[in-house]
Amino acid sequence: MTHIITSLCVRDRGCIDVCPVECMVPGQPINEWPWIYIDPDTCIDCGACVPECPYAAIFPEDEVPSAYTAKGGESISKVGLTGHFEGTNHHGGPIVLDTARQLEAGEVVDLTPDIQPNYDFFKSGPGYSAKDVDNGM
């Protein structure tokens, strides 16, 4: 199994520093790969990243919710969305996303389609080479 980062990820980067096997990679280009991605072949399922995420975006693969009920105000970020999100990441740097949408309280979202992009990023996407063009966002 592996842990999965879902579309609740807004690139805060708090998780990356704690991963003991350095298998979390910030997606690039951001509009195509808007999250941080976990290499499923390298993740050891230690769970260290989960409490580090202020947006509760990380789940064990078999616990990714099919009916996530929004608290309201949190954002999802996905290819195809066109909303804007700005914030400050764990290191004090800027976050700017143009693939976001703010959720309304009580809105129910299926996060299971977010599982496959974590695999695709390493199989057919940029994978670890995205680290070479990491701009800190």
Binding site for ligand SF4 (CB under 6 A): 3, 5, 9-15, 18-19, 21, 23-24, 36, 38, 43-49, 52-53, 55, 57-58
Q: Of 51 and 72, which CB lies nearer to ligand SF4 in the complex structure?
A: 51
Q: Tell me which DSSP letter residue 18 carries.
A: G
Minimum Å gap between C-beta 47 and ligand SF4 is 5
Q: Of 45 and 132, which CB lies nearer to ligand SF4 in the complex structure?
A: 45
Q: Sign (positive/negative) of CA torsion 125, 32, 21, 4?
A: negative
Minimum Å gap between C-beta 19 and ligand SF4 is 3
CA 80, CA 88: separation in Å to the nearest integer? Answer: 23
Q: How many residues would you count in the chain?
A: 137
Q: Of 61 and 107, which CB lies nearer to ligand SF4 in the complex structure?
A: 61
Neighbours of 3 (CB within 10 A): 25
Neighbours of 101 (CB within 10 A): 18
Minimum Å gap between C-beta 104 and ligand SF4 is 20
Minimum Å gap between C-beta 12 and ligand SF4 is 3
Q: Of 89 and 107, which CB lies nearer to ligand SF4 in the complex structure?
A: 89
CA 77 to chain centre: 8
Give the pair of three-digit tokens for residue 38. 């976990």
